[in-house]
A and B are shown apart, each in its own frame.
Chain A
Amino acid sequence: MTTTADRSRSRSQTAPPRRFDWTLLLAVLGVAGLLALSLVTGVYDIAGADDGAEMFGITRVPRTIALVLAGAAMAMSGLVMQLLTQNRFVEPSTTGTTEWAGLGLLAALVLFPSSSILVKMACAVVAAFFGTMVFFAFLRRVSVRSSLIVPIVGIMLGAVVSSISTFFALQTDMLQNLGVWFAGSFTSVIKGQYEVLWVVAVVAVAVFVLADRLTVAGLGEDVATNVGLNYRRIMLIGTGLVAIATGVVTVVVGNLPFLGLIVPNVVSMFRGDNLRSNLPWVCLLGIAIVTACDLLGRVIIMPFEVPVSLILGVLGAAVFIVLLLRKRRYG
């Protein structure tokens, strides 16, 4: 073990860290343990009851898969958005993307009330894409003097969009419904309801494939164009991937606040900014945080559940503030 540690230390000084090493394996094992814990945690007695195995397949397995997919997708979305905007404080919930997805979902619920989940999802994805493009267009047109103004504007943009959603929800008597849709929770994730979430697995693969190009895009338009990257196209693809992930997760699970913000920041605090080698870590940490928060929500007031968004919201706010104060101290 000591030789491994020594070697990794010396390697970090000479060459960029390799993508796979022992710590990553340990992290994978840790996340696997959390997921196993998620599989066995719950009110229903899986082992004792007669239909235990059946219930296990209907609720526990889908829920755990959903945790993996949503956690990884939102963490990676945050990372991609931070690269594309060159701003560490940007993620789907601080740019209004989540609120746009919610508006799209609401439009689908009002206009086509009996439509399938795929139609609702498509509406949410289109709205999320549009909203993210509005935000990016705004960032391109507006010269920002400070990186901290960007999330403030994004949050206000989100407030505008959610006030529009609230207005329509109030007119159509769906305000409380809307609250339930938005509050991220894995309670309703059961067999037959979550399968569309597999779409975000495609997004995750795409991000892995595009990792280097996204990193170059993160150096800015001039540098990226200089090294032969089609900057506008990679921006569009990146935004599209984020929109798909955010839209799908919003429809199936709901809003997972701050996840995309905390995970990439924490990873880069410990490992620097090499996207390719950080990506697995971002995925794993995203999964681990969502799973841990969900487990906490499940056991804290058993036999009832606290939605994961509440725990993420409170915990995420605390971590975000710590990150901000760190920036305040070290610039």
Chain B
Amino acid sequence: MAEPPVRTPANNNEGPPSATGPTGAQPRSRAITRVPAPAGRGSGPFATPKHRRRYWFAFGALALAALFFAGALLWYGNPMPVDDPAFWLIAERRATSVFVMLVVAICQGLATVAFQTVTNNRILTPSIMGFESLYMVIQTGTLFFFGATALIGFRGLWQFSLQVALMMALALLLYTWLLSGRFANLQIMLLVGIIIGGGLGSVSTFMQRLLTPSDFDLLTARMFGSVNNADPSTFPVAIPIVVVAAALLVLRSRRLNAIALGRDIAVNLGISHKRELIINLTLISALMAVSTSLVGPLTFLGFLVATLAYQLAPTYDHRYVFPMAALTGFVVLTGAYFIMNHVFYAQGVVGIIIELVGGLAFLVVILKRGRL
């Protein structure tokens, strides 16, 4: 397959072949007319060299922003001088937060892009599939049945693993049940997931209603995604899962590229569509389960990140969209936390503000796009 740099020098220097002439202004049609072009190896990930330059420019700019915000989060406002040992204690604590942001960015970015490809729909986000409702039921139920001390204690490695396992089990149950057999239908599976989430939501709303206000305050901290919820002792489980699932998703990029063309074309190209669907959804649910268990529900972060990544990466190739999405997620998270912590002093509500921005972006996008 064509690697990104594989372009004949003639193409790079002269721009699009003159054969495309009048339609040259539209990148898509140009990609199609390029097929007999001198390169002879199909159309690459970018329609034109200009698009490739744009991609790498955006990628570089984001990387710089990521470095800037991450460094700023680590050093800015540290009360101790650099040579003091206490400085490193504080920096280490902050480094953990930045690391959690990286993990969440990878989880949400990759999972959402892959989910939108698999469902062939760019306005969905995997977190509506009941993960968050399950998380809320687990947290609320712990508080409701076992009291405040149990909820505070519900943070260790085993509890985390249990929570991830439950979420994965729910997801796998849905996929294997609803995506197999003669009547498999992806959209019905999605709706069933959402509806199960709605039912679970009623249960946790009911339990919340009976909590004392002080217990409820305790729960409020867990109800919204925040990197402060993350517990470093869960990293030994969380990080291997994320690394493996993310790596597998990236390795499957080419198959995802085929799936993005729609079921019929994908099958025509030799993809076992249903099998790919189940594999990808399993990886996606692993990433979402880790992210939700680690920091709490973040409904619209994934949507925001994926939408931005599509704008910044002028290509349909997942090998390029995936890194862009993860990087965008990291910049959004670090930027939001830096600005909220050090400019607006609104520490507690960063997750909610990201959600609000993401939600508003969702509204704008669905009204601007003429199709689904």
Residue numbers of A with Cβ under 8 A of B are 89, 137-138, 141-146, 148-149, 151-153, 155-157, 159-160, 163-164, 166-167, 170-171, 175-176, 179-180, 182-183, 257-258, 306-307, 309-310, 312-314, 316-318, 320-321, 324-325, 327-329
Contacts and interface: CB of A to CB of B under 8 A. Distances in A.
Contacts of A312: 202
Given A317-B199, A328-B185, A155 B194 contact: yes
Given A167-B355, A167-B356, A309-B202, 18 more contacts: A138-B366, A143-B370, A144-B372, A149-B372, A151-B194, A152-B124, A153-B123, A155-B198, A156-B362, A159-B128, A163-B352, A164-B359, A176-B211, A176-B213, A176-B216, A309-B205, A310-B202, A313-B198
Which of A159, A166, A170 has the most C-beta atoms of chain B within 10 angstroms of its own C-beta?
A: A159
Contacts of B198: 155, 257-258, 313, 317
Nearest to B181: A328
A310 B203 contact: yes
Interface residues of B, number: 46
A138 B367 CA distance: 6
Interface in B302-336: none
A313 B208 contact: no
A142 B370 contact: yes
Which of A171, A179, A258 has the most C-beta atoms of chain B within 10 angstroms of its own C-beta?
A: A179
B366 A320 contact: no
B80 to A, nearest CB: 33
Given A89-B191, A153-B366, A318 B199 contact: yes
Interface of B: 121, 123-125, 128, 183, 185, 187-188, 190-192, 194-196, 198-199, 201-203, 205-206, 208-209, 211, 213, 216, 220, 224, 299-300, 349, 352-353, 355-356, 359-360, 362-363, 366-367, 369-372
Contacts of B362: 156-157, 160
B328 to A, nearest CB: 20
A143 B199 contact: no
Contact of B356 (A138, A163, A175, A325): A163
Binding site secondary structure of chain A: helix
A152 B199 CA distance: 15
A160 B300 contact: yes
Contacts of B360: 160
Which of B123, B183, B206 has the most C-beta atoms of chain A within 10 angstroms of its own C-beta?
A: B206
Nearest to A297: B206
A168 to B, nearest CB: 10
A179 B188 contact: no
Given A141-B367, A142-B372, A307-B209, A149 B187 contact: yes
Given A163-B356, A170-B352, A310-B205, A156 B367 contact: no
Nearest to A317: B199
B218 to A, nearest CB: 12
Contacts of B208: 176, 179
Contact of B206 (A146, A160, A307, A318): A307
A318 B196 CA distance: 8
10 contacts: A138-B367, A145-B371, A148-B185, A151-B191, A163-B299, A170-B352, A176-B209, A179-B205, A257-B198, A312-B202
